[in-house]
Amino acid sequence: MFFYEAAAARPDRANLEDLRKGQFEGLQEAVRKEAARRPDLGGPGLHPTAGACAVGARKFLVAYNIYFGSNDVAAARSIAREIRAASGGLKGVKAMGVLAHGRAQLSMNITDFEATPISQVYRTVSNLAARYKVDLAEGEVIGLIPEAACERQSEWMRHLNGFDPMTKILEHRLGSPLPWPAEQSRFQ
């Protein structure tokens, strides 16, 4: 078991991507050769079939995607490279450009929306899209988003496709949770 982010036992374990470096096969080899790569609990090697587990404590992650009006994945990848924190871009932003549903998509994890509000991410992406001559078609939030991250009058929220505050905002969902599966069958 590896601990990451605020649960990390060592500073070099804070970044989950650093722990995952080499994927399972590479990590399995690295833990045998490098004491610094061994798990925080268990080990020293990894289980041959069950692998490893990473446990972390972090701020709320907002998964936010922007679709472009074309399939120009090269532009999406270039924009991702410019905005991601690891490349010197926006603090708390992880991004990659992919092809999704036949369109270029900028897929982002915003790990610190307080340091970098989503409106700032959207403005930066919009400016870069203009430079790369690609249009922003629509945005989406994957999973839930905390009320504190919502900027109700912002352009990025107006750009969201099918955003329903009652089902997408964390605090609303906590106020009216889904019934447990056993309860669902009782009511049908």
Q: What pLDDT score was predicted for residue 68? A: 97
- The per-residue pLDDT for range 94-153, each reduced to its tens digit, is 999 999 999 999 999 999 999 999 999 999 999 999 999 999 999 999 999 999 999 988
- pLDDT reading at 37 higher than 90: no
Q: What pLDDT score was predicted for residue 137? A: 97
pLDDT tier for residue 185 given thresholds of 50, 70 and 90: low
- pLDDT reading at 186 higher than 70: no
List the domains of the chain with CATH numbers: 2-57 (no CATH), 62-174 (3.30.70.670)
* Low-confidence winner among 45-54, 94-103, 123-132, 179-188 (lowest mean pLDDT): 179-188
- The per-residue pLDDT for range 77-87, each reduced to its tens digit, is 999 999 999 99
Q: What pLDDT score was predicted for residue 184? A: 56
Cα three-residue angle 117-123-128, rounded to 5 degrees: 130
Considering only CA atoms, which of 120, 63, 68 is closest in space to residue 91? 120
**Distance (Å, rounded) from C-alpha 160 to C-alpha 167?**
14
CA atoms within 13 A of residue 148's CA, in its CB half-sphere:
9
Average pLDDT over the chain, rounded to whole?
90
The arithmetic mean of pLDDT across residues 147-165, rounded, is 93
